[in-house]
Amino acid sequence: VQTCALPISAFFALVFIQATAILLFKLCQEEGVYTFSPASCIAITEFTKLCLATTMHYRAVGKDAFFEGLDPRVALNYAGLALLYTTNNYITFHVHLVADPGTYTLGKSVTPYLVALLLRALGDRLHELQWLCIIIQCCGIAVTQYDPCADASLLPLSTYGLIAFSACITATCGVWNQKVVKGFTTPINLQNMCLYAVGFTLA
């Protein structure tokens, strides 16, 4: 029971954090604009995560082995990931100006489908039931975004395009991140330090 409790708790914690973050995007707007600079917000967020990753890595390995296991290939991979993540963060800020939180969340929920396609292209296999669930989910999203009275979508196509682009970036980052984490022996917090340092610099 204890073995299952941690993943379940982490899942609900992530859902709560994600839902809260999405609502804050709307609460921080006044008359269609943000009350702060999105670039500054992203920079502060990345710097905070960098500090957390640095602290946890230092506590885990100490000062003498701080950079032990750092592979230049890991740094290059995370530089690319940081570029995608930062781009996605800017897109997210803009999308929340033109779309409601529900539509954004529904649109981003196609990410597992894109991840499945990418993993399949890379040779990984998914169970048939997983594919069926993904297809049903995508069909459900399409139904909620169609207005039969107007015979059109609820939002402009450009907004859906941005959400789709964001979902593609998220899926790419998820698969890429998995390959890097599993492909190198570099400590996870040191990998995160590389990611957040580049993200902070870009922001």
Collect all residues with Cβ–Cβ distance below 8 Å to 100 and sequence separation of at least 6. Answer: 26
168, 88 in Cβ contact below 8 A? Answer: no
Output the pLDDT for position 157.
81
Average pLDDT, the chain: 84
**Locate tokens 């000062």: which residue?**
63
Provide the whole-model pTM. 0.78
pLDDT digits (tens, 9 = 90+) for 128-185: 666 677 677 777 766 777 677 776 677 778 888 888 899 899 989 988 998 888 888 8
Whole-angstrom distance, CA of residue 115 vs CA of residue 156:
25
Whole-angstrom distance, CA of residue 90 vs CA of residue 46:
13
Token duo for residue 22: 């999405």
What angle (nearest 5°) sits at the alpha carbon of residue 38, between those of residues 35 and 39? 140
Whole-angstrom distance, CA of residue 79 vs CA of residue 51:
18
147, 153 in Cβ contact below 8 A? Answer: yes
What is the average per-residue pLDDT within 50-67?
Answer: 92
